[in-house]
A and B are shown apart, each in its own frame.
Chain A
Amino acid sequence: MLIYHQELSRFILMKIIKFSISVVITLALIYFLNNRLVIQGNPVPPLGKFLDPFHGFWQNAESDSIPFAPLSELTTLKDSVNVFYDKYGIPHIFAQNDHDLFMAQGFVVAQNRLWQMDFQSYAAAGRISELIGEAALDFDRLQRRKGMVSGARTSLETMLKNTQLKLFLEAYQTGVNTFISSLKYKNLPLEYKILDYEPEPWTPLKSALLLQYMNDNLTGWDRDLQNTNAYLTLGEERFKALFPQWPAGIDPVVQSPEQWSFEAAPKEKPDSLIVSNTMMKKVHPMPDPDNGSNNWAVAGWKTKSGKAILASDMHLGLNAPSLWFLMQLSSPNYNVMGFALTGNVGIVSGFNENIAWSFTDVSRDERDWYSIKFKEGSRSEYFYGDKTLPVETSYEEIKIRDSTPYTDTILTTVHGPIVYDDSFLSDGQKDYLALKWIGHTPSRVQDALIDLNRASNYNEYTEALRKWDAPSQHVAFASDQADVAIRVQGLLPNRFKGHGRFIMDGSDPAFDWGEFIPFEHYAFEHNPPRGFISSANQHSVDQKYPYEMNLHNSEFYRNRRINNQLNAFDSSSITPQDMMKLQNDAYGIKPSEILPVFLDSIDKSKNSEFMTALKEWDYFYTVPSKAPTYFEVWWRSFRNLLWDEFIDSELPMGRPSDYHTIWMLKNDFPKEFYDHQGTSQVESFKELLSMSLDSAKTKIQTWEDKKGLEATWGNYKGTSIIHLSRIPAFGTYNIQVDGQSKTINSTKPNHGPSQRLVVEMTSPPQAWVVLPGGQSGNPGNPLYENMIPLWRDGEYIKLNFMQNETSENEIFFKQTLTK
């Protein structure tokens, strides 16, 4: 019996062990399949959850382009709202009151673009490390140090003081959150499943952060550090000659009248040196300097229909999902259509029954750097005027996925937060630079936009723009009264000459930003005699304008092409189709101004296919042609040899603009720069040309061999649209689109027109648009990238600007939001 018992218990034990092993394996398997893994530094989504065809990514694949419920509950609505979708997925929202309109807008935008708006709000707030880990830490620290969040908070406070706007922002928030709370894992946007996290509730602060994000995109670029290095290296005279504020032959947005009707408010220039003796070895990453746009509007007498026409295309990073979301918003107070930013109330650029408006960036200096001198041995007090002031210390906790949080210490001065210090971007230096940025000032642009959305004439447009502070924009306008206008709009400190071009001495109050230029002194044009207004990030004004503008990175080519073309049209001739064609124009003024000089100067024995192609080139950057590649590579090689003193410098110095370089080459070039530093002799212009030609040919040959492609302009430029989280499979690559960054169709590798709009101010207005992507934010939806071929080929879709709910033609799907 004893043996029996022993054997039995051993037998039972065996069974228990077997069962346990089996259960443990099953549970462990489920655990691993239910959680994100990091394999050799690469995150892998939770495989079981993700691949499960009932809930995982498969559920994000959509055969139906508008896969929404016909009836959705939004219990906080006052009345039912109807949303009509056309076949492009453009929603037309019809609400009975404004509260419901913006609540529905929040819901509908989230329904289409939730992940994008949420992710961008994380990026704006410097919280990307929370999602992807340590790799984003420097990015996040920079965002926090620049004051992205504190600036957004200040702006939000101002917004919420406007009771109407507060109502709209909160309604929008409820709309987004109602959508979020309807989600289960199964219908979470795809990117949440891949990165394995969940959407967090929307807040009005996130709306403010998104505006701040755009503000940073357009004003977050300056050359103050490089200018300082160049100035201190070259000396004042050379610096001025190479980096003039007013190069010859500019074509500004607004031409000065004979006499400006005002005198500039006084601004004293201090006796002290305007450049701080601070040379920085590192410059933090900045937005693309080509972030900019084209817009123009032609008056009724220039057009065939007699109605004004407005055209707009905004050049930004080309990302998927598309930056802009097309929609129509209609209530008893609003009937407006155009491009919305995902996360903001109303339409940013578009038209209503009476007016159309659009933006281009004003390329002027909206950020300055102040060198801070601390009291010896301390980092708590710094010199300012004849006294010392205490710094404000704050701590920013940055959460990091799969790691412990990082706490950054941010010191704030009278000028603003210290961005560069010995713990960030210092490269061993002990310099402290504080940032003064227009983004720290409370912004009322959301308020201005809402007013623009329902402005009905020129006066209301001007009134709405009183609240437009930052980013500074050229705001183009056209109305059903056949008139056109443009304003150089936005806060700019009243500067003395040279103020803010360099790092300034933070201890001298004479360099502070004082008063802003008063609104009444802004430059503008209303129905100018030439019959059109236009802007393309060139100089806003000419030298006669009474204020110091501190313009930088100005455009010199797109603007001239636009103006030349618009001037060439006869009166009563322009059609919307002409404007669409002009938006896609790929003519390069730059090669037309320098290539003949190159070809004349080059040794004639260098004849080759290369030279023949260039001689026959018509200066259009078309994709099948090789000449644009030849020119661009040759020009860049030449420029790099010419400005090698700048490019190879250990200290970042920038380099003179192409425009001014070409002007100098044709007029009066400082010969010492012809010297190539790598050789013992002093080169001549011809020698540099010949050296750069050889190097260009080698570069192109190497490129062709490496890629296995012909170096046509389309291939060589390689325009791509990249997913916001950089997942290659969700982007589109090697898009064969005409143009170059300095042509009207301003396209480069990952940058170009983020939208195009042409609107004719008939009653009701007619509009044509295109996006480099589509309406849907879901990579698994047919409307995610459906417009890319249209965008590439210069084609447009015509918008259906619905005049009332019963005009249901061309409606593909109707969604009713009920309370």
Chain B
Amino acid sequence: MKFLTQIILIMVISALLQIYLPFWSTALVAFVISVLFQSKSGVSFMAGFLSISLLWFGMAYFIDVDTSSILTVKIAKLFSVSSLLLIILTALIGGLVGGFGALSGSQFVHLFRKKERNLYK
């Protein structure tokens, strides 16, 4: 549940911020949400990755359908890939930015968290 909330929050806030800010704002959003949720590194990365890749996939897919693939096919040809692969590539790039943003956030939290079990060994 927490994982899902994390994903949805990153998606929604990124979508809103992207109206004003460039693509790297998604890394910032993922970072901040990751700090707030204090999840483990792997979980944070997955949350960041999935949220932005889903968001970008959804948006690209919507534009593709809405415009009857008018430009998708041309750019796909430019990259020598299929239209679907172009949308997936888009999602992957977004996912990496979101994922590493979130991972950094989680590492940031770790800086201030004491390592309880080992402390008095």
Contact = CB atoms under 8 A, between A and B. Distances in A.
A728 B110 CA distance: 50
A185 B23 CA distance: 11
A130 to B, nearest CB: 22
Interface in A107-149: none
A51 B70 contact: no
How many chain A residues sit at the interface, stated as a range, is 35 or more
Contact of B71 (A11, A18, A780): A780
A779 B100 CA distance: 34
Contacts of B89: 51
B59 A16 contact: no
A19 interface: yes
A48 interface: yes
A22 B100 contact: yes
- Of B74, B89, B94, B111, most A-chain CB atoms within 10 Å: B74
Contacts of A427: none
Interface in A712-732: 727-730
A19 B75 contact: no
A811 to B, nearest CB: 24
Contacts of A190: 71
Nearest to A25: B100
Interface in B20-71: 22-24, 27, 56, 59-60, 63-64, 66-68, 70-71
B100 A48 contact: no
B68 A52 contact: no
Contact of B23 (A15, A26, A33, A729): A33
Given A48-B93, A61-B63, A782 B107 contact: no
Nearest to B17: A54
B9 interface: no
Contacts of B107: 15, 18-19, 22-23
A769 to B, nearest CB: 24
A52 B22 contact: yes
Given A18-B107, A19-B107, A61-B71, A30 B63 contact: no
Nearest to A21: B107
B4 to A, nearest CB: 23
A49 interface: yes
Contacts of A53: 56, 59-60, 63, 90, 94
Nearest to A784: B70
Contacts of B103: 22, 26
B2 to A, nearest CB: 21
Interface residues of B, number: 40
Interface string A15-48: 1101100110110011001100000000000011
A194 B93 CA distance: 17
B72 interface: yes
- Of A19, A52, A60, most B-chain CB atoms within 10 Å: A52
A63 interface: yes
A55 B94 CA distance: 12
A57 B70 CA distance: 12
Nearest to B60: A53
B77 A30 contact: no
Interface string A74-87: 00000000000000
B105 to A, nearest CB: 9
A52 B23 contact: yes
A51 B22 contact: no
A16 B63 contact: no
Contacts of B60: 51, 53, 58
B104 interface: yes
A781 B74 CA distance: 12
Contacts of B111: 12, 15-16, 19
A25 B96 CA distance: 10
A683 B22 CA distance: 72
Contacts of B67: 61-63, 780
Contacts of A55: 18, 22-23
A30 B56 contact: no
A30 B19 contact: no
Interface string A172-193: 0000000000000100001000
A61 B66 CA distance: 9
B1 interface: no
Contacts of B71: 57-58, 60-61, 190, 779-780
Nearest to B80: A729
Nearest to B68: A63
B55 to A, nearest CB: 8
Contact of B78 (A54, A61, A727): A727
B91 to A, nearest CB: 9
Closest 8 CB pairs of A and B: A780-B71, A729-B77, A61-B71, A53-B59, A52-B23, A19-B107, A26-B100, A54-B18
Interface of A: 7, 11-12, 15-16, 18-19, 22-23, 25-26, 29-30, 33-34, 47-49, 51-63, 185, 190, 194, 727-730, 779-782
Given A53-B60, A729-B74, A729-B77, 18 more contacts: A7-B118, A19-B104, A22-B100, A29-B96, A29-B97, A33-B23, A34-B24, A47-B93, A53-B94, A54-B15, A55-B18, A56-B23, A58-B59, A58-B64, A728-B77, A780-B71, A781-B70, A782-B70
16 contacts: A11-B118, A19-B107, A26-B104, A29-B96, A29-B97, A33-B97, A49-B22, A52-B22, A53-B63, A55-B18, A58-B59, A58-B63, A62-B70, A63-B67, A729-B75, A780-B67
Interface of B: 15, 18-19, 22-24, 27, 56, 59-60, 63-64, 66-68, 70-75, 77-78, 89-90, 93-94, 96-97, 100-101, 103-104, 107-108, 110-111, 115, 118, 121
